Every structure is written in C-alpha cells, then in structure tokens.
C-alpha cells in the first residue's frame, strides 16, 4: 500500500534523525495538540506497518554506509601497518599488526599471580567486627 504524502514526509524526517514527535509537528497540524497527544499520534504513525517499513527502507543505506565491520577494520589496520613500515616507523607498523591479531583472537592475555617471593598465593579470611 502506498503512503500518503504526509506519511512519506514523516518517514523521511524520522529516517533522517528527527524524533517522531518533531516530525509529526512538521508534517501534521498539531498546533492545538498537547505534547502527550503529539507523542501518542507520532507513535501511532510510526507504528503503521507501511510507515515503519518505509523508515527502515530509508535508513538501510545510511546504516550500511556507516557500518564499521571487522573486515574493514582489519583492512584499514593492514594499510596503516604498511604505511608505517614504508615510512620507517617499525614500532607503529608492528603495533597496527598486533591490534589486528588481537581482534582476530590470535593473542590472549595471560596473567600469572604469585605470592611473596614467587611462592603460592595465600588467601586469608579476616572477620571485621563493626560496632
């Protein structure tokens, strides 16, 4: 089902980042409505299945254009490493590659705990009485 011109404009505004109530005020005659009425009406318009689908359709390319994926991160870090090595900044290149390895799970952080003098860790329970 096609949207009305007002529903289309509402969907475009919401998809562009305008909140539902403000979009409703811009599209519909809401001058004499209370804030709670505007909120309720805006919610109803947004919940209309056709309007909701249109908002999702309009947002899809925006979301896709701004997604930062693991693949894009790894690609960018490899580029940074390559540039660093080319400029003789070995430490920066190694750090970029290390970050790639970390996000890919190639490195794990291990922490070993020991007690005094490298001995075993002792646990002592202390009971504190508060008056």
Are residues 18 and 43 part of one domain?
A: yes
Give 84's pLDDT tier (boundaries 50, 70, 90).
very high
Residue 5 has pLDDT above 90, yes or no: yes
Query: Which residue would you say has higher pLDDT here, 56 or 103?
Result: 56
Domain range for 87: 70-103
Residue 89 has pLDDT above 70, yes or no: yes
Are residues 89 and 51 part of one domain?
A: no
Residue 13 CB neighbours (<10 A): 20
Is 41 exposed, middle or buried (CB count within 10 Å of its CB: 0-12, 13-18, 19+)? middle
pLDDT value at residue 113:
77
Report, as an integer, the average pLDDT of 91-115. Answer: 84
Are residues 36 and 53 part of one domain?
A: yes
Domain count, the chain: 2
CB 48 within 8 A of CB 7: yes
pLDDT tens-digit series, residues 18-46: 999 999 999 999 999 999 999 999 999 99
> In degrees to the nearest 10, what's the CA dihedral of 89, 83, 64, 16?
70
pLDDT value at residue 51:
95
């Amino acid at each position: 089902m096609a949207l009305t011109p007002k529903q289309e404009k509402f969907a475009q505004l919401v998809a562009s980042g305008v909140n539902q109530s403000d979009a409703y005020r811009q599209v519909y005659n809401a001058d004499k409505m209370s804030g709670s009425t505007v909120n309720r009406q805006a919610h109803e318009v947004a919940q209309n299945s056709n309007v909701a689908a249109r908002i999702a359709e309009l947002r899809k390319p925006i979301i896709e254009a701004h997604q930062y994926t693991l693949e894009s991160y790894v690609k960018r870090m490899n580029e940074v490493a390559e540039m660093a090595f080319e400029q003789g900044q070995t430490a920066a290149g190694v750090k970029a590659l290390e970050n790639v390895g970390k996000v890919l799970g190639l490195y794990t952080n291990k922490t070993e705990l020991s007690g005094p003098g490298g001995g075993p860790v002792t646990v002592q329970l202390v009971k504190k009485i508060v008056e």
